Amino acid sequence: METTRRRFLKTGLLAAALLAAGGGWYRHTHPAPAHGFALDGEARAALDAIVPAILAGTLPDAPADRTHALAATTDRVHQAILGLPLSAQQEVQDLFGLLAIGPARRLLTGLPDGWAGAREADVAAFLQAWRVHRLALLRTAYAALHDLVLGGWYSDPAHWDAIGYPGPIKELA
Amino acid sequence: MSNEAVIPDPIRAGLARGWKVIDGAQVDADRDLSADVVIVGSGAGGGVTAEILALSGLSVIVVEEGALKSSRDFKMREAEAYPALYQESAARKTRDKAINILQGRTVGGSTTVNWTSSFRTPPTTLAFWQQRFGLSTYGEADLAPWFELMEARLHVADWAGAPNENNDLLRRGAAKLGIPTGLIRRNVNGCWNLGYCGMGCPTNAKQSMLVTTIPSALDHGATLVTRARAERLVLNGDKADGIDCTLLDAAGLHPTGRRLRIRARHVVLAGGAINTPALLLRSKAPDPGGQLGKRTFLHPTLVSAALFPQRVDGYAGAPQTVYSDHFLHTQPIDGPLGFKLEAPPLHPVLLATTMQGFGEEHAAMMRQFPHIQGMLALLRDGFHAESQGGTVGLTNDGAPVLDYPLNDPVWDGARRALLTMAEIQFAAGATGVQVAHERAPRYASWTEAQKGIAALPFEPQLTRVVSAHVMGGCAMAGAGHDGVTGPDGRYRGLANVSVHDGSLFPTSIGANPQLSIYGITARLASDLAQALTGRPAARPQA
Choose the weakest-confidence range: A35-44, B184-193, B289-298.
Answer: A35-44
The DSSP code for B137 is: T
- Asked whether the beta carbons of residue A58 and residue B366 sit closer than 8 angstroms, the reply is yes
> What SS3 state is found at B14?
helix
Whether residue B20 has pLDDT greater than 60: yes
Band of residue A38 on the pLDDT scale cut at 50, 70, 90: confident
Judge contact between B298 and B423, C-beta under 8 A. no
- Asked whether the beta carbons of residue A169 and residue B76 sit closer than 8 angstroms, the reply is yes
B44-59: average pLDDT: 98
DSSP secondary structure string, B144-209?
HHHHHHHHHHTTEE---SPPPHHHHHHHHHHHHTT---EEPEEEBSS----S-GGG--TTS-B--G
- Asked whether the beta carbons of residue A124 and residue B358 sit closer than 8 angstroms, the reply is yes
The alpha carbon of residue A9 is apart from the nearest alpha carbon of chain B, in Å, by 18
CA–CA dist B79, B171 (Å, integer) = 31
To 10 degrees, the CA torsion angle through B266, B270, B273, B277? -30
- Asked whether the beta carbons of residue A163 and residue B369 sit closer than 8 angstroms, the reply is yes
Q: Which residues does chain A have within 8 Å of residue B89's beta carbon, measured at their own beta carbons?
A: 80, 83-84
Closest chain A residue to B460, measured at CA: A136
Q: Which residues does chain A have within 8 Å of residue B202's beta carbon, measured at their own beta carbons?
A: 168, 172-173
pLDDT digits (tens, 9 = 90+) for B402-458: 999 999 999 999 999 999 999 999 999 999 999 999 999 999 999 999 999 999 999
Minimal Cβ distance to A140: which of B79, B83, B461: B461
User: What pLDDT score was predicted for residue B39?
Assistant: 98
Percent of chain B with pLDDT strictly greater than 70:
99
Whether residue A59 has pLDDT greater than 70: yes
> What SS3 state is found at B369?
helix
Q: Which residues does chain A have within 8 Å of residue B358's beta carbon, measured at their own beta carbons?
A: 53-56, 124, 127, 131, 146, 149-150
Judge contact between A155 and A73, C-beta under 8 A. no
User: What pLDDT score was predicted for residue A37?
Assistant: 83
Q: Which residues does chain B have within 8 Å of residue A131's beta carbon, measured at their own beta carbons?
A: 356, 358, 438
For chains A and B, what is the number of CB pairs under 8 angstroms? 133
User: What pLDDT score was predicted for residue A16?
Assistant: 55
Pick B350 or A87 by higher pLDDT.
B350
Among B78, B95, B353, the strongest candidate for a mutation testing the A interface, having the largest count of A CBs within 10 A, is B353
Count other C-beta atoms under 10 Å from residue B75's C-beta.
Answer: 19
User: What pLDDT score was predicted for residue A18?
Assistant: 57
The DSSP code for B43 is: S
User: What pLDDT score was predicted for residue B4?
Assistant: 67
CA–CA dist B183, B324 (Å, integer) = 9
Residue B245, CA distances (Å) to B32, B248, B435, B498 in order = 10, 9, 43, 18
Band of residue A172 on the pLDDT scale cut at 50, 70, 90: confident
CA–CA dist B277, B261 (Å, integer) = 20
The alpha carbon of residue B130 is apart from the nearest alpha carbon of chain A, in Å, by 39
Minimal Cβ distance to A165: which of B361, B369, B462: B369
The alpha carbon of residue B91 is apart from the nearest alpha carbon of chain A, in Å, by 8
Q: Which residues does chain A have within 8 Å of residue B97's beta carbon, measured at their own beta carbons?
A: 140, 143-144
pLDDT digits (tens, 9 = 90+) for B321-332: 999 999 999 999
Q: What angle do CA B483, B486, B487 make, to 5 degrees?
A: 120
CA–CA dist B188, B207 (Å, integer) = 5
**Residue B517 CA to its chain's centroid (Å):** 9
User: What pLDDT score was predicted for residue A171?
Assistant: 85
CA–CA dist B127, B255 (Å, integer) = 44
Q: Which residues does chain B have within 8 Å of residue A171's beta carbon, measured at their own beta carbons?
A: 1, 3, 6
Whether residue B349 has pLDDT greater than 50: yes
Minimal Cβ distance to A57: which of B203, B364, B441: B364
- Asked whether the beta carbons of residue B76 and residue A163 sit closer than 8 angstroms, the reply is no
pLDDT digits (tens, 9 = 90+) for B94-153: 999 999 999 999 999 999 999 999 999 999 999 999 999 999 999 999 999 999 999 999
Each residue of A9-30: b (16+ CB within 10 Å) or e? Answer: beeeeebeebbeebbeebeeee
- Asked whether the beta carbons of residue B89 and residue A127 sit closer than 8 angstroms, the reply is no
> How much is the mean pLDDT over chain B?
97
B280-291: average pLDDT: 96
Provide the angle, in degrees to the nearest 10, between the axes of the packed helices A12-29 and A102-109: 150
- Compute φ and ψ for B410, nearest 5 degrees: -70, -45
Whether residue B255 has pLDDT greater than 50: yes
Q: Which residues does chain B have within 8 Å of residue A165's beta carbon, measured at their own beta carbons?
A: 315, 348, 369-370
Whether residue B1 has pLDDT greater than 70: no
Pairing label, strands B301-307, B432-435: antiparallel
The alpha carbon of residue B415 is apart from the nearest alpha carbon of chain A, in Å, by 18
Q: Which residues does chain A have within 8 Å of residue B88's beta carbon, measured at their own beta carbons?
A: 84-85, 88
Minimal Cβ distance to B76: which of A140, A150, A173: A173
- Asked whether the beta carbons of residue B3 and residue A171 sit closer than 8 angstroms, the reply is yes
Among A163, A170, A171, the strongest candidate for a mutation testing the B interface, having the largest count of B CBs within 10 A, is A163
Q: Which residues does chain B have within 8 Å of residue A58's beta carbon, measured at their own beta carbons?
A: 363, 366
